[in-house]
Amino acid sequence: MPRLFGTDGVRGLANRDLTADLALGLAQAAAVVLTRGRSAEARRAAGRRPTAVVARDPRISGEFLTAAVSAGLASSGVDVYDAGVIPTPAAAFLVADFGADFGVMISASHNPAPDNGIKFFAIGGRKLPDEVEDRIEQALGADHLTPIGGDVGRIARFADAEDRYVVHLLGTLPHRLDGLHVVLDCANGAASAISPQVFTDAGARVTLIGADPDGVNINDGVGSTHLDQLAAAVLEHGADVGIAHDGDADRCLAVDAQGRVVDGDQIMAILAVSMAERGRLNDRTLVATVMSNLGLKRAMADNGITMLETKVGDRYVLETLTEQNLSLGGEQSGHVIMTDFATTGDGILTGLHLVAEMARTGKTLAELASIMTVFPQVLINVRDVNHHALGDSDGVAAAVREAEAELGDTGRVLLRPSGTEPMVRVMVEAADEATAQRIAERLADAVREHLAR
């Protein structure tokens, strides 16, 4: 039976895969698993129930799923504080700031509106490790003692949730944004109210797109996965910079004044150098994934910064940051984690600090981004192959060695099996697009030949 939890919580088509019954059951199971331990025992000894922060993005299915999750928690004796529509990183922050036992975020991030998801945060606002998610899954549907009478949980509105988060974000800024014109694309998502307020309060002049959520238009042609409208708006309004979030605002991508995209790798390069200059980059080390551009690694080396690489996924970046007490990491997709201020990727926080660096240095975003030369990157998904045999294929290994010899130190090759389908991802970076494309196609042919099913 496939694992219920994926790489980022439980996701599926709302009311088909992710039903109200499943949401209620997950909440009850999570209440049992996440209220064990010294913190919960201390609360009970003091006559207090466990507490949970619940939040959602604005997609329409979030309304009934929030109701189901809240009901499941309260029926298990957990007091629920409903924070309403806020970004995922805001929910994580509030769990820690409020001292809650755990949190629940109902969102499918950058997915289209019919999808939804349920993500849990442990005490302190941190993502759950796989083994804790497995225990929740095992507890799903099991018989549990349920409280009655005055022992059931209460459900209340978290009245100052947005204000707490806004004050927190503004308190992190190293420099105000006065004099800069920013176009914000909020993906018709969870950032639509908070991001404009924060950037305005920080001193920027703000123009908005994608900030009118109606429950069904989240990520629909806008946001970090659709940057054309943002680039056009920056050019139309003569703005200094464009900032794009995804539906739950844990990502940030940018557009410079000429309408050119600045991706997560370039953002990390800018922030890493700035933080190193200001003595804020622990061990002068950045954490990124194996999919980050070779140009990022070279830019870091040129600036005396070490770059550690992890498997693909922001959870692996966060694990390394935590284990080694580091302060900055992220992914090319725009998940950037600044551990001095957040326990997860935070798109608003990232955007604020990126624009603050423009204000601090007086440089344009294009000038700041020029610190990194982006190597052309070609990705080919080779489908319907025996991806499990990738590591055992002498033929594929020989093709990779040949490609690496041809590229030398002017490029890079990465082959990764998919974790969910019979597919191998072939990625090649080279000094020019034509070389990257030619070598990627050659490797894809080798994968098809040697890993045929």
Annotated binding site for Mg(2+): 109, 246, 248, 250
Dist. CA 384–CA 41, nearest whole Å: 51
Residue 109 is a catalytic residue = yes
Q: Exactly one of 61, 70, 76, 109 is catalytic; which is it?
A: 109
Dist. CA 440–CA 435, nearest whole Å: 8
Which residues, 6 or more positions from 243, have their beta carbon under 8 angstroms from its beta carbon? Answer: 182, 183, 184, 185, 195, 199, 252, 253, 254, 351, 354, 355
- Mutual angle of helices 347-361 and 194-201, in 10-degree steps: 20
| Torsion sign across C-alpha atoms 440, 445, 446, 448 | positive
Report the greatest alpha carbon distance in the chain.
Answer: 73
DSSP per position, 113-157: TTEEEEEEEETTTEEPPHHHHHHHHHHTT-------GGGS--EEE
Detail the residues annotated as belonging to a binding site: 109, 246, 248, 250
DSSP per position, 164-189: HHHHHHHHT-SS--TT-EEEEE-TTT
Q: How far is CA 91 from CA 117, 264, 311, 366, 453, in A?
A: 14, 22, 25, 33, 45
Dist. CA 118–CA 56, nearest whole Å: 9
Dist. CA 182–CA 208, nearest whole Å: 9
Dist. CA 25–CA 31, nearest whole Å: 10
Task: Tell me the sheet residues that pair with 308.
Answer: 287
Strand (E) or helix (H) holding 449: helix 433-450
Dist. CA 340–CA 164, nearest whole Å: 17
Dist. CA 12–CA 317, nearest whole Å: 25
Cβ count near 47 (within 10 Å): 6
Return the active site residues. 109
